[in-house]
Amino acid sequence: MNLKNKIIVICFGFFSFAVMAQSKSDLKLWYDKPAAIWNEALPLGNGRLGAMVFGNPSIERLQLNEETIWAGSPNSNAHSKSLAALPVVRKLIFDGKFDEAHTLADKEMMSQTNNGMPYQTFGSVYVSFSGHDKFTNYYRDLNIDNATATVKYVVNGVEYKREILTAFSDQVVAVKLTASKPGMITCNVMMNSPFDKTEPYSDGNQSVLSGVGSTVEGLKGKIKFQGRTAVKNVGGSVSSKNGIISIDGADEATLYISIATNFVDYKTLDLNQEEKCKRFLEAALTKNFEEIKKSHVAYYQKFFHRVALDLGTNAAANATTDERIRNFSKQFDPQLAALYFQFGRYLLISSSQPGGQPANLQGIWNDMLFPAWESKYTMNINAEMNYWPAEVTNLSEMHEPFIQMAKELAVTGHETAKIMYNANGWVLHHNTDIWRITGPIDHATSGMWPTGGAWVSQDLWEKYLYTGDKNYLKEIYPIMKGAAEFFLDFLVKDPNTGYLVVVPSVSPENTHPGGSGAATLSSGTTMDNQLLFDLFSNVIRATDIVSGDQVFAKKVKEALAKMPPMKIGQYNQLQEWQDDWDNPKDNHRHVSHLYGLFPSNQISAFRTPELFEAAKQSLIYRTDESTGWSMGWKVNLWARLLDGNHAYKLLNDQLKLVTPEQRKGGGTYPNMLDAHQPFQIDGNFGCTSGIVEMLIQSQEGAIQLLPALPTVWKDGSIKGIVTRGGYVVDLEWKNNKVSMLKIQAKLDGNCRLRLESTLKADGFQLKKAKGQNPNELFQSADVKKAVISEKATIKKFKLPKYNEYDIDMKAGKTYTFYGN
């Protein structure tokens, strides 16, 4: 039943609370009015279930999601005609006929079956209270310290409270309604869904709604889902008729909402969704709300409490969260930056749980059947960006769904590699969905990018650098090797340069001036070369550690030696393509050729200063303000460029309030979610990662302390951050210098520290660093020298003066240092 098509006459009821002072906790988002639109509602999630809480006193809306409700059904979208078209497309590109290559690729290589399926909303639960449209003393919050939401208000002298959570342990949405006076809870509860043929009905005192995912592009919807709502009351009575639950005169009442589907995995749909839905609901009904909340909070906090960030506070923290976002660029509010950092960690815990699906473009929060970009997994940055905070902010377990997806993509991508390119290994283009499609979709402008497997493999390797877990490396090595096998078959010699190149490909999702002046396809784009440099280098290292297959490693080394180096162009920029095509006025949201700066470490102020300066120039040309996720990426990039004040400027640009009237540009919605626009969650995750990069970096063979500290963050602390090499770091600073450092070693090894100030040790002798750091987990990329255009005039970069110390650390021990 759709609300647009049905008039709902619902009896209204009451609950109350003892009016409390509005919390100014540094871990709460709080507001003094209900959400008027979806981007003002507050997100709750347990990885599988998501809820957006609107907090309207008269009609509460909980917009709900279940992570496996997607359109369509298992399928492969590889184009069988691609193999015949491939050599023709390549020749056209090598001959400079880019428009013709694009036309042919669009016709003969892009998917002819479907362009991926949309992630879809379940619908909403509405709780309607008569007479609550005239209220006072309103308060609404999201407490990210315990993953609960609260709504409070007063009507006719009665104080009301709602407490909502998405139970991690019990797998239901729970809503507790209480009142300051007994017998005041009288309300109606109903479910609603935008799907066709989803009329709610009553099963005893429960409300039930069942449906099937949409059929899209001829691919039949086969996800079956069911939602059930039940009420556990104290006092009064509960009844249900025609799918509407009526609560009458209760002292308090708790709603339990359960949702389940028939999804098992990307190729299997034979679970009984009704039995699963009933099982979760019936188990929850045996408990009271406080029992469910206790286990929920305990589970959540064992992850969330691992990391703490203190950047200071001031009077700006007294305002509502939306006002603080509105004013962030106008007044100093360090506590909002810390809240924003922790909000990203909260979102990752809430949208990516072990055993479930990885966070998609919107995490798990989506109110549409056909959302923007279908809320799929965009693999040319966005899906990987979601997991930038996972290891470094001590949420390694949240990484597991992405790793599982990589295993599944390696299977489906193997079929696509054979069908489309007659290649071994596996391939992934720029997009996938719950069915793990791997063929190119949409159009050649973005879809003809075959390097997704390389980026996925870089993410897998990074996890190893943080954990040092060789059993994990053995597990993911076949995936990395399979990605490398594909490119050993796919790479061809460019007749114009003699280099081995990836072709056809694009620099996501940009155009170049070849052909008609707005071409996309090309050969040997900088990003592809960087991605393969990482893939091949990491596979060689992994082979030495867990495989010993030196025959394969030799093939990879030989291919790597024949690939193009990075180039510096006529505008002193890092070239985006092999040809010097860059336009200094191009401010495209993607800065794909800067992958080598971040998240990779191929470009370095210490090892490749000319490339470092060229990357900086490219970033300046691209400008600062962009879409939300792009600005999140740029926070990381400026931090890697060791410019904390510019990184902070990007954070200001990102924490700019987006209002309903604004239609373009990035920023942040009132509920602190990232605006592309519309909402994309990767900007949140990117900024959380970027704040860490401003304070601690570990990609250079050392733990670098305060590498890009903004001047305004004069004093502060961060605790529980994980670095490459397997170290957990607590850091305090005063007057912009390190005052205390505590390092817990998870692994034996040599730890190198780098900082501008000096340190003294507590109970052992510090030694100055000499030579190369021998720790394999810290190993930096050995990048070829840049090719510099004759027109370029790169200035010599002067590094700040750093002190470096080496410490032999033992697993399980903690080491403490103090600033001099």
In sequence order, what DSSP letters do the residues of 515-548 get, joined into one string?
TTTTB--BSS-HHHHHHHHHHHHHHHHHIIIII-
Nearest Cα neighbor of 128 from 197, 177, 64, 179 is: 177
Cβ density class 200-222: b for 16+ within 10 Å, e for less = beeeebbbbbbbbbbebeebebb
Q: Would you state the pLDDT for residue 778?
A: 67
Q: For the residues 651-664, what does the mean pLDDT come to?
A: 88
The answer to whether residue 506 scores a pLDDT higher than 80 is yes
Q: Would you state the pLDDT for residue 462?
A: 97
With cut-offs at 50, 70 and 90, classify the pLDDT of residue 10. Answer: very low
The residue among 778 and 688 whose pLDDT is bigger is: 688
Indicate the residue type of 129.
F
The answer to whether residue 11 scores a pLDDT higher than 90 is no
The CA distance from 32 to 37, in Å, is: 15
What phi and psi values does residue 162 have, to the nearest 5 degrees?
Answer: -125, 135
∠ CA 14-44-240, rounded to 5°: 40
The answer to whether residue 76 scores a pLDDT higher than 60 is yes
pLDDT in tens, 412-446: 999 999 999 999 999 999 999 999 999 999 988 89
The CA distance from 617 to 162, in Å, is: 52
What phi and psi values does residue 743 have, to the nearest 5 degrees?
Answer: -125, 125
The residue among 498 and 778 whose pLDDT is bigger is: 498
Q: Would you state the pLDDT for residue 2?
A: 41
The CA distance from 673 to 667, in Å, is: 9
Q: What is the largest CA-CA distance in the chain?
A: 84
The CA distance from 183 to 234, in Å, is: 9
Structure tokens at 671: 């509920």
Q: Would you state the pLDDT for residue 516?
A: 86
Q: Would you state the pLDDT for residue 612?
A: 96
Structure tokens at 579: 């040809």
* In contact, 725 and 698? CB cutoff 8 Å: yes
Q: Would you state the pLDDT for residue 180?
A: 97
Name 249's bridge partners: none
Q: For each of the domains in the chain, give its residue range(s) and CATH number, in order of start.
A: 3-71+123-293 (2.70.98.50), 92-111+383-565 (1.50.10.10)
Nearest Cα neighbor of 714 from 696, 733, 691, 694 is: 733
Q: Would you state the pLDDT for residue 3?
A: 35
The CA distance from 202 to 781, in Å, is: 62
What phi and psi values does residue 361 have, to the nearest 5 degrees?
Answer: -60, -25
Name 733's bridge partners: 716, 738
pLDDT in tens, 705-748: 999 999 999 999 999 999 999 999 999 999 999 999 999 999 99
With cut-offs at 50, 70 and 90, classify the pLDDT of residue 15. Answer: very low
Indicate the residue type of 400.
E
pLDDT in tens, 97-117: 999 999 999 999 999 999 999
The CA distance from 507 to 515, in Å, is: 16
With cut-offs at 50, 70 and 90, classify the pLDDT of residue 663. Answer: confident
Structure tokens at 206: 């429960």
Question: Which whole-number Å values give the CA distances from 57 to 52, 134, 379, 442, in the listed order?
Answer: 15, 9, 41, 43
* In contact, 86 and 110? CB cutoff 8 Å: no
* In contact, 446 and 470? CB cutoff 8 Å: no
Annotate 447-499 with DSSP letters as a single string.
H---BHHHHHHHHHHHHHHHH--HHHHHHHHHHHHHHHHHHHHH-EE-TTT--
Q: What are the contacts of 727-736 at 24+ separation with CB within 8 A?
A: 727/698, 727/703, 727/751, 727/809, 728/394, 729/696, 729/703, 731/695, 731/696, 731/705, 731/706, 733/706, 733/709, 733/819, 734/819, 736/706, 736/709, 736/711
The CA distance from 363 to 680, in Å, is: 8
Structure tokens at 343: 């909000």
With cut-offs at 50, 70 and 90, classify the pLDDT of residue 774. Answer: low
Q: Would you state the pLDDT for residue 660?
A: 76
Q: Are strands 787-788 and 567-568 parallel, antiparallel or unpaired?
A: parallel
Return the percentage of the chain with pLDDT > 70, whole number.
96
3 state DSSP class of 682: helix
Q: Would you state the pLDDT for residue 6?
A: 34
Q: Are strands 737-745 and 814-819 parallel, antiparallel or unpaired?
A: antiparallel
The CA distance from 720 to 366, in Å, is: 32
What phi and psi values does residue 88 have, to the nearest 5 degrees?
Answer: -70, -45
* In contact, 339 and 391? CB cutoff 8 Å: no
Q: Would you state the pLDDT for residue 23?
A: 34
The CA distance from 688 to 144, in Å, is: 15
With cut-offs at 50, 70 and 90, classify the pLDDT of residue 567. Answer: very high
Indicate the residue type of 139.
Y
The answer to whether residue 44 scores a pLDDT higher than 50 is yes
Give the single-character DSSP code of 713: -
CB neighbours of 286 closer than 8 A, spacing ≥ 6?
none
The answer to whether residue 163 scores a pLDDT higher than 60 is yes
Structure tokens at 93: 């590109």
Q: Would you state the pLDDT for residue 22?
A: 28
With cut-offs at 50, 70 and 90, classify the pLDDT of residue 782. Answer: low
The answer to whether residue 21 scores a pLDDT higher than 60 is no
Question: Which whole-number Å values give the CA distances from 755 to 524, 695, 791, in the listed order?
Answer: 37, 11, 36
The CA distance from 477 to 596, in Å, is: 22
Nearest Cα neighbor of 207 from 192, 228, 188 is: 228
Q: Would you state the pLDDT for residue 781?
A: 62
Radius of gyration from C-alpha coordinates of the chain: 27
pTM of the model: 0.95
SS3 letters across 413-430: HHHHHHHHHCCCCCCECC
The CA distance from 132 to 137, in Å, is: 12
The CA distance from 706 to 733, in Å, is: 9
With cut-offs at 50, 70 and 90, classify the pLDDT of residue 779. Answer: low
Q: Are strands 185-192 and 173-179 parallel, antiparallel or unpaired?
A: unpaired
The CA distance from 451 to 502, in Å, is: 8
The residue among 326 and 778 whose pLDDT is bigger is: 326
